[in-house]
Amino acid sequence: MPNAHDPQLLKGVLSLLLLCLLAERESYGYQLVQRLREIGLSDISDGTVYPALTRLEREGRVTSRLVTSRSGPARKYYRPTEAGYAALAQGTVHWLSLADVVNPVLSRPIPAQPAPPSEEV
């Protein structure tokens, strides 16, 4: 299981990823789930993505249009609005500045863990 990701770590990042993928290419929900899995989020669930898209739309960061499909129900294609592009830019800044905080700390050498006293039982 190379990809048992911590759900908590994903928080806030997902909407950023979605905006980014949509800026790259107009997509519908089911397709986004597949694209996310392809780029490495192998165990993401659609119950996570659809609500996230709904939120983004409610917040005015994406718009959608329905396109009928010949192999199933209509697809709801999303793409960023102007506000979405702005949010993408700002979210990117936030992510990068968080990484700028976390990475240096993680890469600082851990001083000799005091060998836990081998608790004679």
Partner DNA sequence: GCAAACTACCTTGCTATGTCAAGTAGCAGG
Partner DNA sequence: CCTGCTACTTGACATAGCAAGGTAGTTTGC
Binding site for a second copy (CB under 8 A): 2-3, 5-13, 16-17, 20-21, 23-25, 39-41, 80-82, 85, 88, 91-92, 94-106, 108, 110-111, 113, 116
One character per residue 35-54, x = contact with DNA (rule: CB under 7 A):
--------xxxxxx-xxxxx
60 lies in the site for DNA, by CB under 7 A: no
Q: Quickly list H helices, the chain.
A: 7-10, 13-24, 29-38, 46-58, 82-107
Single out the residue of 12, 20, 83, 86 in contact with DNA (rule: CB under 7 A). 12
Question: Binding residues for DNA, how many (CB under 7 A)?
Answer: 35
> Is residue 64 a contact partner of residue 57, using CB atoms and an 8 Å limit?
yes
Distances (CA, A) of 30 to 1, 15, 72, 81, 117: 24, 15, 12, 20, 53
Shortest distance, CB of residue 62 to a second copy, whole angstroms?
13
Pick between residue 105 and residue 121 the one whose CB is nearest to a second copy. 105
Q: Which of 12, 5, 4 is nearest to 92 (CA)?
A: 12
Token duo for residue 108: 């600082």
Residues in contact with DNA by CB under 7 A are 5, 7-8, 10-15, 28-31, 43-48, 50-55, 68-77
